[in-house]
Structure 1
């Protein structure tokens, strides 16, 4: 299985290099090459599931010397915490490559866009596979420039400002991440994340609090956590459809995953001390995002702000430091990736056909494109937490995890539940103003119907939302053993 692990990481990098030098006269072949390669990589991520076992140890790993003078090893692996995100990453990039067969944003040149997407995929895989804190930081950094370029080159009218804001915020987070990783490595005597997750830290409580606060801010920028979220709406609004899908479904997860994989075991006493503050900020994100969404009139911006609220539930689950809460966080990561990724695909289809995301001009889509309206309704009710769909379990378990804690966390759980009601309000408002009611000025008959490529790109996400909503244990059974082992160290 170690060969499959290395192949998952290396193939996207090789594909990116190949597309960078691909002949300009063979652009359609380049698109199909990206689809085939992404399909092969996704298949390999499924092959990794064959190494699964029920214990907390990595299912399979690669551990090689890299920088002996600094005692840094190229330590990569997969376990129940990382595999779902690795598989989701493989699926999302495959669907984005498939979508790009027919839908390439201006100014065209799909070879460069696909090359950047594959480079981005390599960085994300590396971050999710890293079992060494320094290796995690390196791959975390690899994702920044490709995403910046995707927004800056293929985005909307305000793309350059949005890309600069994305880069400045994420570079600020990266500097703090480097400081936190170095401090934790010195305090721990090793950068090995497996060792961190097994043994309690010997650092002083004050030192652990300082390390955890630095790492929390670094990962909060990426998650993003209120009030460090302001880069996200602009980035989503200006990014091309595939950029928004990747950003929502994959890149935001690097922040919450990093907090679980790196932040909690790096400084467990610090995590316990700061957890109430994290809980308050998470609930604030849920409520503030919900109130803002009730007032927004632009479709992509509304979905972007909804992500701040959804990730608030993930961060609330982490703040509980208990098994139900961390399970909720990991499940919520996947559910948000599936449903919000689908939403951004659908919003892209709406803007491609009607040339606007203005809610005031989009009424009555169901009369012209009933299939598109139906899919938009499905993704919206899934995102608001309808039981039976994937979005329900992450939010429900986060609230349950909060109620299992102190009286303070019980109060946070109540406020978070009220925030979920806000999500229902703004998503139902979105549907009322776009799919039903009087036909908006932008919605006219004769616009292109959904094509086979779009439906093929969206169908797996629809199926996943249903399967995970009806059988959540398919995912929860993978994460329970490593989560319980982590809780035993973080919250003994």
Structure 2
């Protein structure tokens, strides 16, 4: 099984599927949806089979494929995965069928083409697999930049009222970061040429090079800017709330669930092993940004009236925890950070989906337009509750395990930053519970009117003179204005098919995360060795322990 080109297949299959969907006649929209769903399920099967073929105790990079691409410049179309990349491919495989089903009712009024929507989704899946599977730095850069195109069109053509602004902002921020990284990639090639006598972009060869610490810092910053924008870390974050709010729900799930992880994946895959001295020297600076993001984004989330912007800000806070785990330089914290990347994609993906289901019923993204939904749609309320509790890392949900590993792994080496980060847990409980309480409980309200209340009838007594018996008169008082109430149907079968697997994963990984931990931990330990840290999880190694009495 290890000889089969699993990774290449996971890139080629959705790319061919995208072309096939785009080539369908205009009136075959139902077939376009079915074909997109079938292709996404096939990629999920390939991801599972690749995981079965992967040996967690074997070589660091497995399932490799390498073909000379631009030999004059040492560029190969080289693919391979360690445990870190493999779990991200599994995440893509799980999320894509869910996104296709959740986007089933995407319509085509005038400018919107259902075929184009699902073709862009499949092309995005192909490129996302490529960016995590590439083991050639130049190939990684190509996939990194190419991902911008399908997401730009998903936001700009199928998003909300401010879609064009959000799409352009997303594209420009990411493009600028990519250009800075390109300069660093070229610099890395020049350095490798001087060290090895021949330039190379191969990751394994590059991480063996002893680069001058001063040069390391410059190259580190080039990669870091691109990854910090993509992640995003504060203050590079301002594109995400706009893009997350305006993207269609399926696009928003992939944006925060997978695309943003390319940034944190880049930290642990490229910044730490290639520039170990710079990573250790600049770690305090990165940790300040990470903790600032946890607290700042959580406070902003509490003040949001737009539900999609609120969820986007929660993601910025979560990325702060991931960066904290990566730059704590312990295997425990690093494992928690990578596990957090997977769990965040599931929990926040479900949170976006639940919010999208609510918006589809009410036609509004404003929290104030909803109330009392739980009394009419208890299953939808339950899904939103599970997603919210996972987002705040309640014990028993998947996010708790990863957040716990990050905190206990970071405390021995970064106690001050860890203590500050724990304040974000309290703030997370506030913004999640505020959202749930205001939309699911309280008096029903919304944008559709129920039947008006009947008029109130008053029968006051009227006194008669000369001892006559009292007479009565009926006075009809005007009814009070009808209170706007939203009639919310509960989840249908298609929506249940979207939500149930995600809820099941949240609970299953909350109680038994070991299969993912077993894949992730060896790769993280190898990265800690690369960065010069003790893989057992103490401090960066500075002395030769062997031979000490």
Could you say which TM-score interval applies, normalised by the shorter chain?
over 0.9
C-alpha distance in 1 between matches for 2:406 and 2:446: 41
The equivalent residue for 2:66 is 63
- For the residue of structure 1 that corresponds to 2:142, the secondary structure is helix
Query: Structure 2: how far apart are the matches of 1:420 and 1:435?
Result: 22
In terms of mean alpha carbon deviation, does 267-276 or 439-448 score higher?
439-448
Q: Deviations over 1:154-185 (max 9, x none)?
A: 11111111111101100011111211222223
Q: Deviations over 1:69-124 (max 9, x none)?
A: 00111110122111110011122111112223334476542100011111111110
Corresponding position of 2:466: none
When structure 1 is superposed on structure 2, of 13-22 and 225-234 the one drifting more is: 13-22
Of 503, 523, 528 in structure 2, the residue corresponding to residue 487 of structure 1 is: 528
Bigger Cα displacement from structure 2, 97-106 vs 203-212: 97-106
Tell me what 1:283 maps to. Answer: 291
Matched, 1:307 2:310: no
Pick from 130, 134, 138: which aligns with 2:134?
130
Asked whether the equivalents of residues 279 and 319 of structure 1 are also in contact (C-alpha less than 8 Å), the reply is yes
Alignment of 1:196-215 (within 5 A): 196-197=206-207, 199=208, 201-215=209-223
Question: Equivalent residue for 1:111?
Answer: 115
Matches within 5 A, 1:234-383: 234-383=242-391
Q: Match of 2:457?
A: none
Give the stretch that moved more between structures: 278-287 or 91-100.
Answer: 91-100
1:161 matched residue in structure 2: 165
Matched residue, 1:427: 432
Stretch deviating more after TM superposition (100-109 or 121-130): 100-109
Please, which of 158, 175, 183 is the counterpart of residue 187 of structure 2? 183
Segment of structure 1 superposing worse, 440-449 or 346-355? 440-449
How far apart, in 2, do the equivalents of 1:42 and 1:77 lie?
18
Matched, 1:471 2:512: yes
Matched positions, count: 487
Structure 2: gaps (5+ residues): 194-199, 449-484, 534-549
**CA apart distance, 1:486:** 1.1
Pairwise CA distance, 1:59:
2.4
Contact 1:368 1:445 in 2 (8 A): no
C-alpha distance after superposition, 1:357-416 (max 9, x if no partner)? 2122211110111111111011001100101111112222222222120xxx20100000
Report the CA distance shift for 1:150/1:104 in structure 2 as closer, same or farther (over 3 A).
Answer: same
Larger-Rg structure: 2
Counterpart contact for 1:12–1:121, Cα < 8 Å:
yes
Contact 2:362 / 2:486 at 8 angstroms: preserved in 1? Answer: no
Shift in Å at residue 491 of structure 1? 2.3
**How does the TM-score come out when normalised to structure 1?**
0.96
Residue 85 of structure 2 corresponds to residue 82 of structure 1: yes
Q: 2:152 aligns with which of 144, 148, 155?
A: 148
Q: Is the 8 A contact 1:56 1:482 kept in 2?
A: no
Secondary structure of 1:75's counterpart equals strand
Conserved 8 A contact 1:383-1:391: yes
- The answer on whether the counterparts of 1:56 and 1:481 sit within 8 Å (CA) in structure 2 is no
Distance (Å, rounded) in 2 between the aligned partners of 1:416 and 1:410: 10
Range with greater deviation from structure 2 (161-170 or 434-443): 434-443
Conserved? CA contact 2:231–2:260, under 8 Å: yes
1:280, 1:120 → 2: CA distance?
33
Indicate conservation of the 8 Å contact 2:294/2:316, yes or no. yes
Match of 1:72? 75
Question: Is residue 237–residue 301 contact of structure 1 (8 Å, CA) maintained in 2?
Answer: yes
User: 2:33 aligned with 1:31, yes or no?
Assistant: yes
- Please point out which of 168, 171, 178 is paired with 1:174: 178
Q: Please state how far the C-alpha of 1:55 moved relative to its aligned partner.
A: 3.1
**Offset at 1:4?**
2.4
Q: Secondary structure at the match of 2:260?
A: helix
Instruction: Give how far 1:483 is off.
Output: 1.1
Unmatched runs of 5 consecutive residues or more in structure 1: none
* CA shift for structure 1 position 448: 3.6
Looking at structure 2, the residues matched to 468 and 317 of structure 1 have their Cα atoms a distance apart, in angstroms, of 19
